[in-house]
A and B are shown apart, each in its own frame.
Chain A
């Protein structure tokens, strides 16, 4: 029982990270209608952005995180305006392939700039708290706390602001959004701001839980996509549920199978959902 609860803790931590990535993938799909394959590597770049502020300037992680989010948001706009925007009028599959190319490019850039070695934000041991025999590291609290705050802020943005509502409107019905006077290019830019910033946050939190390396985000792209699809691609609230579901399910699975099979668990769940509930586990949330 204690073992399962311990795994549940790991699952919630992993799920919090996946959720931040999955929201971006789902939002980008909802607005631009393509699966953004460079999202994992956008997470990696964001994680390394934070390393600049931590290692070079000596900022604490809670200051480096927002700085990295801003950096990644700007990078996402740059990538969109210089590459994706030109391809938007072509078929979505071309955007998908080009984002695959962008993924390789970002990863290569990270390797060139920061090298291929593992790095950490702060050396030293993160001494865990022990509650009823369950060990919770202080970093775990930071990860879950930051994720909850960001998801809640995103929720408020979607429900309360004009741009947030326009984003939901456009994801619901592009033509009607245009007819209503919504400037779709502005919505697209905001989509990248949010997608990029949340990807960076996911990357930083993942690096905090494990360590930095150029494969960081690429390694979790599959569970992030699984979370997006389980939640119903294009439905951002579904992505939250999908992220937690995939995170918890993969960690719990290690109670019965080898941890090396974790990605296979995410993949299997994704395929099962595609077969049984192609529009996602969560109904009617957008």
Chain B
């Protein structure tokens, strides 16, 4: 199995006290891995650290065996990793189409067909292509954020709470889309609050508490674990 991402004993945060206290993580090619954990556990910080947006004080991150610890975000993107942040994940003042163009910023070839493919994956975006992203509904915004991240045909996609603030119907639909994206051969790491639902769709789950892994197991196993269920899945 090819290891796509490996996070080894990472400590760091935003310059002050460490938020991550020795986090480990390993993703095999083609997997869907879900990170769950209480608010403020450092789930988003972990993603930012991987993408060069938070400071790594010690430990290492590698992508397909290549060390990327502390690399600039735009260079990480160049290597084939995409990231959808939890908040402010679209360019609100740009149109839907321009957001997708920015996702393809690093591409020198004709990315027109890729934009069409994104519109096929998320049909509501097509009707709104000339509209400012700031005017989209929460669900549409999330679609656009994912669409933007897919423009580079990444090998690994990081999704930070893709279903937060979505209605249950939309959330279910989003998980379906994520499965479809994964079926294209894209490895997926996501943080989720809808833990039960997410774990059903995942190969593996990781529980992160205070910046360190507490549990790690295949999705169903984690769902069946009493301690995890009581503490992190709401009983």
Interface residues of A (CB under 8 A from B): 162, 165-166, 168-169, 172-173, 175-184, 284, 286
Contact = CB atoms under 8 A, between A and B. Distances in A.
Interface residues of B, number: 28
Contact of A286 (B88, B90, B93, B152): B93
Contact of A175 (B85, B132, B134): B85
A179 B77 contact: yes
B92 interface: yes
B83 interface: yes
B216 interface: no
A176 B106 contact: no
A176 B105 contact: no
Interface of B: 51-53, 72-74, 77-78, 82-83, 85, 88-94, 98, 101-103, 105-106, 132, 134, 148, 152
A177 B94 CA distance: 12
B105 A166 contact: yes
Nearest to A171: B93
A178 B54 CA distance: 13
Chain A interface main SS type: helix
Nearest to B88: A173
A176 B103 CA distance: 10
Contact of A165 (B51, B74, B89, B102): B102
Contact of B74 (A162, A169, A178): A178
A286 B134 CA distance: 11
B102 A169 contact: yes
B106 A168 contact: no
Contacts of B53: 175, 178-179
Given A176-B90, A184-B74, 9 more contacts: A166-B102, A166-B105, A175-B85, A176-B91, A177-B91, A179-B51, A180-B102, A181-B74, A181-B78
